[in-house]
Amino acid sequence: MKKIKIITIGVYGFDEASFFDALCKAKVDTFCDIRSRRGVRGATYAFANSKRLQARLAEFGIRYIYRKDLAPTKIVREKQAAADKATKTAKRKRTALGEAFIDAYHTECLATFDPQSLLDELESDAKVVALFCVETAPDACHRSLVADKLAKILNLEVEDILP
């Protein structure tokens, strides 16, 4: 079995140059988008909108894959929104996921996710795979849950990249 490294990265807190610089410094060769909606509002993060993002990644020789099966469903996202509302936490200020979100995400997404299916989708020369969503803090994002499962099941190294 090939040994790959997983990195996690969100877009908030980066500008376009520092985001792509971070990917290149980490030697990312495969970018795995696990967002349910592949657009980000506002000009600041327009570079992370799917088509622009894919074009830019291609310029750096980074392959792009989309795993919608790892994106939280609307129902799961609503559980986090309710938790954020209850604690009066702004979405971009969240530092951790709520228990209701974690439980629902495990049930709806991770329970049926076979980590080997992700490995099987990778090119044979893949070495560093980035799990991508938007939140700054890994613990405030479902990408940390995916990374944990990959680390446990496949014994992969995980590194979080922060702005």
Number of compact structural domains in the chain: 1
| Phi then psi dihedrals of residue 59, to 5 deg | -60, -30
Residue span of the structural domain in which 144 resides:
5-161
Model-level pTM greater than 0.85?
yes
* Helix, strand, coil percentages in the chain from 3-state DSSP, rounded to 5: 45, 15, 40
Q: What is the pLDDT along the chain (163 residues), one digit of tens a residue?
A: 568 999 999 999 999 999 999 999 999 999 999 999 888 888 899 999 999 999 999 999 999 999 999 999 999 999 999 988 998 988 778 889 999 999 999 999 999 999 999 999 999 999 999 999 999 999 999 999 999 999 999 999 999 999 9
Confidence at residue 2, expressed as pLDDT on a 0 to 100 scale: 64
Q: Report CA-CA distances (Å) from 69 to 22, 46, 60.
A: 26, 24, 26
